[in-house]
């Protein structure tokens, strides 16, 4: 299964959930469920943005962009975060404008179904995002997870409103639910924004496994004595590796060049996503 197949599944599922939630919220007198439905429609929009962004990021390198166009993934994720933030703010604003209604019983059923479906969808998207190291899928999957929590809030608040007779405060639960859903959406949007901003600025790979494995590869050659300024940066779904290799000063230039070529080959064989490698050779005395 590829990126496009994953996104088609997400688009179809989000469209169905959004329609069920909005229609159910209108006929079930639940502003929280309507807000949750709007959230699902934002998922649908971000899915289309993700598909377009992924297509553009796969463009091959050209004269103006010698390292390719992978950073478009981060720009796409930025757009997704702006949409999510706007949806969250809109939902919070509407919370204070709409009248209070007691939701009908089938709102509980709709919320329970959407929680189940959305949980498995978000887990599915995130698994493929991690497997392919695709930032767009990870952003879309995290946004989908927020839909799980928002639906859970709707379920709890709709249930509590059934007891608004003996406990008058519960009649405000639908409003509270809408507000919480809006805040959850805002938080997801901000998280996606700052995470991708960090990668654009130049965030190094946080997983120590990759760094340890690459260091073992470099030290597999006895001529490599020390490493300096060793950095592995994410670049879309690829990586850039830079660093200095301190080698025996008695090596000839040809020998040192052959050793570096061999090490670069081993690194690319270890992980084909490390596409850009810059290793600087420095002589060091062994005496």
pLDDT in tens, 128-150: 888 877 766 777 777 677 777 77
Residue 247: strand pairing partners = 224, 283
Confidence band of 287 (pLDDT split at 50, 70, 90): low
Confidence band of 223 (pLDDT split at 50, 70, 90): confident
- What was the pLDDT predicted at 15? 85
- Residue 29 backbone phi and psi in degrees, to 5: 60, 45
Residue 227, token pair as written in the block: 């490493």
- Judged against a pLDDT cut of 80, whether residue 202 lies above it is answered with no
User: pTM above 0.85?
Assistant: no
Residue 169, token pair as written in the block: 């405060």
DSSP codes joined into one string, 146-172: HHHHHHHHHHHHHHHGGGTTTSGGGGG
Confidence band of 210 (pLDDT split at 50, 70, 90): confident
CATH 3.30.70.1350 holds for 208-284: yes
Q: Is 246 exposed, middle or buried (0-12, 13-18, 19+ CB in 10 A)?
A: middle
pLDDT in tens, 43-60: 677 667 767 776 776 777
- Residue 60 backbone phi and psi in degrees, to 5: -70, 160
- Judged against a pLDDT cut of 70, whether residue 279 lies above it is answered with yes
User: For the chain, what are the domain ranges?
Assistant: 3-201, 208-284
Q: Do domains 3-201 and 208-284 have the same CATH topology?
A: no
- Give 1's DSSP letter: -
Nearest 10 degrees: CA dihedral of 1, 141, 78, 11?
Answer: 60
Residue 216, token pair as written in the block: 């073992």
d(CA 38, CA 200): 30
| Region 3-201: CATH code | 1.20.1510.10
d(CA 181, CA 183): 5
* Between residues 209 and 18, the one the model is more confident about: 18
- Judged against a pLDDT cut of 70, whether residue 66 lies above it is answered with no
- What was the pLDDT predicted at 68? 65
Alpha-carbon 245 to chain mean position: 34
Q: What percent of the chain is predicted at pLDDT more than 70?
A: 86
- Judged against a pLDDT cut of 80, whether residue 121 lies above it is answered with yes
Mean pLDDT of 166-192: 78
Per-residue buried b or exposed e for 154-180, using 16+ beta carbons within 10 Å of the residue's own CB: bbbbbbbbeebeeeeebbebbbbbbbb
- What was the pLDDT predicted at 242? 84
Beta strands in the chain (DSSP E): 224-235, 238-248, 274-284
- Residue 208 backbone phi and psi in degrees, to 5: -70, -20
């Amino acid at each position: 299964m590829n990126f496009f197949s994953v996104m088609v599944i997400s688009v179809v599922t989000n469209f169905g959930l959004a329609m069920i939630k909005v229609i159910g919220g209108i006929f079930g007198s639940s502003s929280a469920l309507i807000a949750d439905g709007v959230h699902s429609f934002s998922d649908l929009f971000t899915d289309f943005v993700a598909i377009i962004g992924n297509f553009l990021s796969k463009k091959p390198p050209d004269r103006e962009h010698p390292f390719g166009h992978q950073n478009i993934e981060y720009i796409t994720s930025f757009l997704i975060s702006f949409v999510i933030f706007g949806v969250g703010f809109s939902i919070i604003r509407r919370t204070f404008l709409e009248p209070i209604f007691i939701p009908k019983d089938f709102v509980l059923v709709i919320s329970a179904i959407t929680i189940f479906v959305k949980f498995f969808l978000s887990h599915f998207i995130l698994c493929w995002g991690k497997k392919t190291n695709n930032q767009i899928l990870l952003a879309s999957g995290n946004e989908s997870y927020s839909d799980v929590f928002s639906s859970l809030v709707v379920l709890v608040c709709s249930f509590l409103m059934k007891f608004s007779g003996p406990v008058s405060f519960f009649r405000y639960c639908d409003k509270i639910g809408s507000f919480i859903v809006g805040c959850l959406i805002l938080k997801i949007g901000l998280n996606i924004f700052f995470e991708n901003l960090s990668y654009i600025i130049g965030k190094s790979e946080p997983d120590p496994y990759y760094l340890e494995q690459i260091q073992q590869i470099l030290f597999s050659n006895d001529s490599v004595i020390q490493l300096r300024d060793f950095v592995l940066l994410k670049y879309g779904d690829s990586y850039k590796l830079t660093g200095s290799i301190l080698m025996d000063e008695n090596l000839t230039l040809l020998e040192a060049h052959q050793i570096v070529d061999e090490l670069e080959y081993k690194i690319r064989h270890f992980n084909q996503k490390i596409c850009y490698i810059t290793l600087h050779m420095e002589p060091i005395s062994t005496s």
